[in-house]
Chain A
């Protein structure tokens, strides 16, 4: 699969195809990308570590702006490059944000848990490990269980974490092993954990 960098290079140094329209299109596309690049904070701290405090909020806004610009260029200016980039952005936005998290769809698909059902989940804690509030104290709780380990968190707490990370805050297991698990369950619900791989 083409990486973002591949597309990036193609975009910044497009093969000349002669048409004036095409040149304009690339110019406006370039300016869109350029403004995105300058708006998106560069996560480079002095010690080389990633400063996520600078990223999350601002970056998703910048990605949204880029997405909108690409959409306009793609539909109104008929830019195929913009269209391709837009698809790339939808399919693999992690390459744009530099994050290592899960997709929005993944977050939307997580199992909702009601406060009264918490007792039925043996891995559930009484408090959210992220905000440290009691689940029971929340007037309008919106709780989710992670697909693999079934640890329970407020959706509004675990959501932002999973946008940049694939691990459970409590047990550090990879939350994206879900698919394997579900497939395995369909075939062999009573199997031991060790056997899941063979169905994945």
Chain B
């Protein structure tokens, strides 16, 4: 395996020494480009008190291309599909190499606090969010209860 760019080492060190509140990102021992991520649901959101696990992978071309990030914990959210894929501009066309792992994870945390059903990835969820927001939020809360609270 090719050596790890200095930038990735620096980012990793800072993620550990100066973690973002409510977010942890820990690289695998055997693959320092692969991170186990956990994001706390923002308070006031239907994901409050939930811990959502994600996987984050830095492709060989990082930071010329965005990290690959996916939810592992099941989540009811209009911008996250069944496979955990995330519809977020900075992970796609709006990626910039000046962004970092921590800024991306902050953006994902912010997305949990501000679902955007007008730019959906999960269409059925988005439809429900638009037609019956109260019900959608109730479903999101119950999924959080069901899937995002198994501690380990």
Which residues of A approach B to under 8 Å, CB–CB? 47, 49, 51-53, 56, 129-133, 157, 160-161, 164, 167, 169-170, 172
Contacts and interface: CB of A to CB of B under 8 A. Distances in A.
Contacts of A170: 96, 98
Interface string B84-99: 0100000010101110
A97 B16 CA distance: 38
5 contacts: A47-B85, A49-B92, A53-B59, A129-B98, A132-B7
B60 interface: yes
Contacts of B7: 130-133
Given A131-B7, A164-B64, 9 more contacts: A47-B85, A51-B65, A52-B64, A130-B97, A132-B11, A157-B97, A161-B64, A169-B96, A169-B97
Contacts of A49: 92
Interface in B50-101: 59-65, 85, 92, 94, 96-98
Interface of B: 5-7, 10-11, 59-65, 85, 92, 94, 96-98
Chain A: interface secondary structure?
A: loop
Nearest to A132: B7
B95 to A, nearest CB: 9
Given A129-B98, A169-B96, A170-B98, A160 B64 contact: yes
B84 to A, nearest CB: 12
A56 B97 CA distance: 15
Contacts of B92: 49
Contact of A131 (B6, B60, B85, B96): B6
B79 to A, nearest CB: 13
A161 B61 contact: no
Nearest to A160: B64
A56 B64 contact: yes
Contacts of B98: 129-130, 169-170
Contacts of A51: 59, 65
B63 A130 contact: yes
B97 A129 contact: yes
Of B11, B61, B65, B98, most A-chain CB atoms within 10 Å: B98
